[in-house]
Amino acid sequence: MTQSPISITAPTSNSARVLAVLVLMTLLAGCQRYEWTHPTKSLEQFGGDKYTCQERASRLYPVAAAVVQEGGGYFTGGYTQCRRSSGYSRFCYATPMEYIPPMYTTRDLNENERGSAVESCLFSRGYQLVPAN
């Protein structure tokens, strides 16, 4: 039984361009910015509504600062190095292992909930998130 050869052709220049454009659009879609719009309210009214929503969200989800450990501590590798001196004697010295403690940062544990509450509040007032031009 003989196998038929597999033919692989390189894409034409048009299909390659289309593929490149599609890949570029997909990559840029992750960078898309959005903005709030309302069919009847001005930018000044939006500012007031957003401020009201942020105040409400801050009362529901106040700042909850917590110290959070970023990764664990670790030891650096110690080593011993020896040199021969005259005859059979050796001179050795050791570098001890060193403990590097973990890093700590302060985080607001309610930040995500507060942001979601602001979004829900604005949606309830008729605002919509649309891609920015």
**112: Cβ contacts below 8 Å, ≥ 6 apart:** none
pLDDT in tens, 74-118: 998 888 888 887 777 788 888 889 999 999 999 999 999 999 999
pLDDT of residue 2: 46
DSSP state of 86: S
pLDDT of residue 10: 46
**CA 97 from chain center: how many Å?**
33
Tokens for 19, please give them. Answer: 């593929």
**122: Cβ contacts below 8 Å, ≥ 6 apart:** 36, 49, 50, 53
The whole-model pTM stands at 0.57
Gyration radius (Cα) of the chain, Å: 31
